Structure formats: C-alpha cells, structure tokens
C-alpha cells in the first residue's frame, strides 16, 4: 500500500509539522483575537476562570446537487456555502476540570457537545461576534458542569491526590494546508450523466425507483486552541450515490444504496466510465436481489465481501476501541458510548491472520480520498500512526490528553464530532492480511469448511448491518458444488467482539468505506475503513420474520 498525498495533488501542501505562525486569514485572526480577549476578561464571581479554550470553524461548500430519477432530472439545488463555528471552554485546572462529565443524564445526547452555531456570516467581525456568543455560552456551561462534577466526586470519597489528572497538557503541533477554490464543475455535463445512467433503471420492471445524485463537496476546517495548537485542512471530493427501491418476487420491499466518494480534479472521461460501470454493477446486484429466495436458520462459516467487511469491523472493533475514557457519572449514557477495549491491552482480541493499523496521515488510498485525514487532532497534538493489533493482540489504543492510566500520553487521536466534545477516535483504519488470498481462493476455502462441517452450503454477505435493523439486504448461498443462489430476509444474531477471533482468512483487494457519527456520514465523513474480504469461521443467521408488504392497488405505470 502506497501513501499518496492528496493535498499535494489537488490543493498544494506547504509547511507541515512545526509551523509556528498562524495563517494570515480572517478565520485565524478572529479566533485568536477572541480567544485572547476571553482568557483575559472572561470571569464570573465565585466561579473558576477558564484555563483552556478551543475553537473550530468548518466552511462547507456544497455545489449544486444534480440528481435524476429513472432519467428525469430534478431541479439542481442552489449551491450552499455554510460556515459553522464550535467553541469549548474548560474551567478549573488540569487536575480537576469541567470536562468528562455528563451533567444531565436525561438529555445526555445534548450534554457533552461543544457550543455550536451553523450558517454564521462570513467576515472577520461576524466571526468574532459569533465566537464571543459561543464562548460565553460555553463558559456558563463549563462552570455549571464543574460544580456538579465536583459534587459528584465528593460523594465518591476519593483521595484527589491519587486520582489521575483530568487533563494533561501535551506538546502542541500545527499543520497548514493551502486551500484553493475547488475547480469549477460543469453542471450541464453532470446533469446529462445522472439522466443517462438513472434511465437504465427503466429496463428493470421490478424497480419502483432508481435514483442517481452527484454532489461535489469542499469542506475546510480551521482549528485553534489556547495552548498554541492549530491546523488548517480541507476535504475535496465528489459524493456519488445510487438509490433503488424495489419489491422482490415475493413482494417484500427493499431499499438499497450505493455510495462512492471520488477525487475532484480527475479526467472527466474517467468519471463517465466509472459512473457507467458502477451503474450496471448496481443494476445487476438489484436483479439478483429481486430473484432471491427466503433464508433459513444458519450457523456456520460466512464470507464477508470487502464492502461488507468495513461495516462488520465498524460494529465489532471500531466502536469498542473509541471513546475509551469513560464519562462521569459512571452510569452516564451518551450517543457515543465508551468502548470496551480500554482494559484489553496486550490481550487477544482478534484473529492473527490480520493486523490493524490506524493511519491519520493518509489522505488517499489507491486513488480514493480518505475521510480520516488528521495530521493534528482536536487537542492540538500531532496524530501518530498506530499499530493497533499484532498477532491477534491489542497492542495500542487511540489516546487523548485525558489519561487512561498513570504516565500515559496522548498519541493525537482526540477528535471533536457534532455529537461530542473531543474523545478518543480512530481515523483511517487499515486491515492488512498476513497471507492475503484471492476472492476465488476465499470462496474455495468457504466450500471446504462447509464440507468439513457437513453443511450443504455457506453464505456470502455483500453488506452488513450497522444500525438497529439487523436484516441483511444482499446475501448469497454458496453450495459445496459451486452453485450460488441469492437469499433474502436473513438477519445477524448475537454479534459480539468475539466474532473478531473467528476471522479465518482475508482477501488481497481492499474496499474503502467512509463513516461518521450520527447522521453526518453522507456529507461529512470523518473516518475510513480500508478492508479486504474476510472469511469468518462462524456466524449465526436467522430469518427476520418480516411480512410481505401490501402491493400497490394500481400497478406501476
């Protein structure tokens, strides 16, 4: 795997680690002026003063979305240019501060967030005005939480001298990426493409909808904290999505989506070829889904195609190795729950056929943009590459400035999200097979394993559920004689991190999957998982027992 600097290709990189001078633009000028003023003057009688302030500005350019349904284009949406501001304030001191505590368990999903304003006006004075308001709100919030947190700690009767400090200031870093205007897009050409390729859906009578949309996106991020850390980065890409609604031959409704992020600046002829090929692949998949038969209870080996391996790892690995520093009180529930791997260091948590790495300094892989590019984290610390597992053992964890144990230092993996103040998160998770196998070899190994177990067939999963609905949308049986048969209506049962130890083999070609917290995955990817196909020793599948949907009273026109 070769590291490719996407900024060097598209935006032009200058002055990486070690930069000491803030860029001379209105974003940093406004943040610096308001931060200095707040640190000097922000006081409330009887309340602790702020000892740490951080700001983050996100400038999101959404070019007109061009979209078409079965060949008929929608009116293009006007381009949006949205500037959002985040502010968070920490009061008290490094040993006992105001962060890490959920002050309202009932509204926990709103209680551990930075103060945020969306669609603020652009311009130095306007940015300062909004940062001033956000800082005041964040300070009031921090002082209230500080008092509640101290009251809670007093009930624990703990010796404060033996407690870990709440916050350990780290060596600060900076990263500056020159940001140029995104290239001008040919809206007329994009419209012609979405009309042309979405019209192919009309050849498939079972499709109720077949939709294609293209949205070029440029996301600029500016960050500054009061310890001196700062960064300026951009994510420049084109979001392409197919969406289909159909009823299979037994009358069950299904919705399928296919999403890619393409790098801007490429030859448009390659885009047209890409759109044509991916459209036909998707339609072929939909035909397979339409012809599927009902699934039955199954317990045995399963082959995860590369596009299913990423969601699988998101469910059983990523979620357990993030947000490791638990929030107080101990029973606090948040949208992003604490991971369970904080006490699994140097223990076997995964099969030894693969090793896992987190690479925050990769912005592209094999020509695909990565969403987790993060040279400096949201505490101003240089983000380090981590080998997370080796020979099946968990050998490292993403760390922030909030220590997990005595003497531990941040490795630059604190990240702010729209749903949480900075917590420990992965960036770009890479799965590397020790003895990679071709897709054909993986299928043959699945067949051999089924024969050993006396099974008539095994399963190939082409997607994997990550939400509350555990139903699989695209599944194939692979019989021991090599025949395949599509299946619908199966769900995954009893999925736990134990499944990581059941990985028997891994493929030689990786698929790039993007993810992000909450509902922001489609427009603001903040992580990527780069994984090949994975063969599992055992997975339990069962029918989802859903009933067929009511057929329309009037047939499709």
505, 466: one domain: yes
Residues 538 and 411 in one domain: yes
Domain assignment present for residue 549? The answer is no
The candidate with the shortest Cα–Cα distance to 139, out of 38, 5, 288, is: 38
298 lies in the same domain as 278: no
- The three-state secondary structure class of 5 is coil
Per-residue pLDDT reduced to its tens digit, 43-63: 888 889 999 999 999 998 878
What is the pLDDT at residue 518?
55
Q: Residues 485-507: what's their mean pLDDT?
A: 95
**Are residues 265 and 185 both part of a single domain?**
yes
pLDDT in tens, 248-278: 999 888 899 999 988 876 566 788 999 999 9
Choosing from 247, 266, 288, the residue where a domain stops is: 288
Mean of pLDDT values over 107-121: 82
Kindly state the helix (H) or strand (E) to which residue 532 belongs, with its residue range: strand 527-543
- Between 122-126, 248-252, 443-447, the lowest mean confidence (pLDDT) is in 248-252
pLDDT digits (tens, 9 = 90+) for 179-231: 887 677 888 999 999 999 999 999 999 999 999 999 888 889 999 999 999 99
Q: Clarify whether residues 94 and 212 are in a common domain.
A: yes
| DSSP for 384-420, written as a single string | PPEE-EETTEE------SS-SSTT----S-EEEETTE
Say what the pLDDT of residue 407 is.
79
* pLDDT, greater one: 342 or 412: 412
Whether residues 220 and 343 share a domain: the answer is no
pLDDT at 64: 85
Same domain, 138 and 56: yes
The pLDDT assigned to 206 comes to: 94
pLDDT band (50, 70, 90) for residue 242: very high
DSSP state of 484: E
Instruction: Confirm whether 548 is domain-assigned.
Output: no
Considering only CA atoms, give the Rg of the chain.
25
Boundary residue ending a domain (288, 310, 343):
288
Is 343 found in the same domain as 246?
A: no
Domain enclosing residue 266, as ranges = 6-288
Give the chain's domain count: 2
Assess if residue 123 is contained within a domain: yes
Q: Are both 207 and 229 inside the same structural domain?
A: yes
The answer, yes or no, to whether residue 14 has pLDDT greater than 80, is no
In a domain, 556, yes or no: no
Same-domain pairing of 167 and 231: yes
Assess if residue 49 is contained within a domain. Answer: yes
* CATH at residue 223: 3.30.2290.10
User: Measured between alpha carbons, how far is residue 201 from residues 177, 418, 504 in Å?
Assistant: 42, 36, 38
**Burial of 61: CB neighbours in 10 Å, binned 0-12, 13-18, 19+:** middle
Euclidean distance between CA atoms 359 and 371, whole angstroms = 11
pTM of the prediction?
A: 0.92
> Same domain for 204 and 67?
yes
Q: Which of 380-384, 406-410, 459-463, 553-557 has the lowest mean pLDDT?
A: 553-557
Which residue in 173, 176, 166, 177 sits closest to 225, CA to CA? Answer: 173
* Cα–Cα distance for residue pair 528/364, rounded to 1 Å: 10
Q: How far apart are CA 2 and CA 341, in angstroms?
A: 29
State yes or no: pLDDT of 331 exceeds 90.
no
Torsion of CA 273, 278, 198, 522, to 10 degrees: -110
Note the pLDDT of residue 16. 39
H/E segment holding residue 555: none
CA distance 485 to 472: 15
Which of 246, 270, 288 is at the close of a domain?
288
**In this structure, are residues 280 and 274 in contact, taking their beta carbons and an 8 Å threshold?**
no
* DSSP summary character for residue 42: -
Q: Is the confidence at residue 286, as pLDDT, over 70?
A: yes
Average pLDDT (436-453) is 98
430: confidence class by pLDDT, cuts 50, 70, 90: very high
Whether residue 551 lies inside any domain: the answer is no
Cα–Cα distances (Å) from 286 to 42, 67, 202, 310, 544, in that order, read: 59, 20, 13, 21, 20
Residues 6+ apart with CB under 8 A from 483: none
Which own/partner pairs from 449-458 qualify as long-range (CB within 8 Å, at least 24 positions apart)? 449/300, 449/301, 449/504, 449/535, 449/537, 450/300, 450/301, 450/478, 450/480, 451/480, 453/300, 453/301, 455/300, 455/301, 455/480, 456/480, 457/485, 458/300, 458/301, 458/302, 458/303
Residues 272 and 363 in one domain: no
547-555: average pLDDT: 76
Q: Give the residue-averaged pLDDT of 61-87.
A: 87
pLDDT at 68: 97
Instruction: Using a pLDDT cut of 70, give the percent of the chain over it.
Output: 90
Is there a contact between 342 and 397 (Cβ–Cβ < 8 Å)? yes
Whether 221 is in a domain gets the answer yes
pLDDT at position 238: 87
pLDDT confidence of 335, banded at 50, 70, 90?
low
For residue 509, is it within any domain? yes
Q: How, if at all, do strands 253-263 and 230-247 pair? A: antiparallel
Closest CA to 59 of 221, 230, 236, 239: 221
Q: Are 116 and 418 in contact (CB under 8 A)?
A: yes
């Amino acid at each position: 795997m070769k590291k490719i600097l996407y900024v060097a290709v598209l935006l032009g990189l200058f002055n990486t680690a070690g930069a000491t001078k803030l860029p001379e633009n209105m974003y940093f000028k406004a943040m610096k002026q308001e931060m200095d003023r707040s640190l000097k003057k922000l006081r409330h009688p009887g309340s602790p003063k702020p000892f740490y302030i951080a700001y983050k500005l996100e400038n999101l350019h959404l070019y007109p979305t061009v979209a078409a349904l079965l060949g008929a284009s929608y009116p293009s949406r006007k381009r949006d240019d949205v500037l959002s501001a985040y502010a968070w304030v920490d009061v008290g001191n490094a040993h006992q501060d105001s962060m890490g505590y959920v002050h309202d368990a009932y509204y926990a999903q709103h209680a551990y967030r930075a103060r945020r304003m969306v669609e603020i006006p652009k311009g130095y004075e306007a940015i300062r005005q909004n940062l001033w308001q956000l800082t005041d709100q964040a300070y009031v919030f921090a002082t209230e939480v500080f008092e509640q947190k101290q009251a809670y700690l007093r009930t624990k009767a703990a010796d404060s001298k033996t407690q870990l400090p709440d916050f350990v200031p780290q060596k600060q870093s900076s990263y500056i990426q020159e940001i140029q205007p995104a290239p001008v897009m040919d809206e007329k050409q994009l419209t012609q493409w979405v009309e042309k390729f979405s019209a192919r859906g009309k050849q498939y009578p079972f499709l109720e909808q077949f939709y294609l949309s293209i949205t070029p996106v440029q996301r600029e991020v500016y960050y500054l904290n009061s310890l001196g850390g700062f960064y300026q980065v951009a994510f420049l890409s084109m979001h392409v999505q197919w969406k289909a609604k159909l009823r299979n031959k037994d009358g069950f409704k299904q919705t399928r989506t296919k999403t890619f992020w393409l790098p801007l600046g490429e030859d448009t002829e390659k885009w047209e070829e890409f759109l044509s090929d991916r459209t036909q692949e998707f339609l072929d998949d939909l035909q397979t889904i339409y012809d599927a038969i009902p699934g039955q209870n199954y317990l045995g080996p399963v082959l995860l195609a590369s596009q299913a391996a990423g969601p699988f790892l998101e469910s059983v690995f990523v979620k357990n190795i993030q947000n490791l520093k638990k929030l107080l009180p101990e029973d606090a529930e948040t949208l992003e729950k604490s991971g369970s791997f904080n006490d699994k260091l140097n223990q076997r948590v995964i099969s030894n056929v693969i090793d896992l790495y987190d690479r925050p300094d990769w912005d592209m892989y094999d020509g695909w943009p990565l969403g987790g590019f993060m040279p400096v984290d949201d505490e101003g610390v240089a983000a380090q590459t981590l080998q997370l597992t080796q020979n099946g053992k968990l050998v490292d964890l993403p760390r922030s400035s909030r220590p997990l144990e005595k003497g531990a230092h941040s490795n630059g993996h604190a990240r702010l999200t729209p749903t949480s103040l900075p917590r420990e998160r992965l960036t770009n998770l890479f799965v590397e097979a020790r003895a990679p196998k071709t897709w054909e070899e993986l299928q043959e190994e699945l067949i051999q394993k089924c024969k050993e177990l006396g099974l008539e067939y095994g399963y190939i999963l082409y997607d994997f559920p990550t939400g509350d609905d555990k139903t699989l949308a695209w599944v194939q049986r692979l019989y021991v004689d090599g025949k395949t048969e599509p299946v619908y209506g199966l769900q995954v049962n009893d999925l736990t991190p134990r499944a990581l130890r059941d990985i028997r083999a891994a493929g030689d070609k990786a698929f790039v999957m993007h993810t992000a917290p909450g509902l922001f995955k489609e427009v603001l990817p903040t992580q990527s998982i780069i994984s090949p196909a994975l063969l599992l020793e055992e997975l339990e599948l069962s029918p989802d027992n859903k009933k067929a949907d009511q057929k329309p009273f009037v047939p499709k026109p």
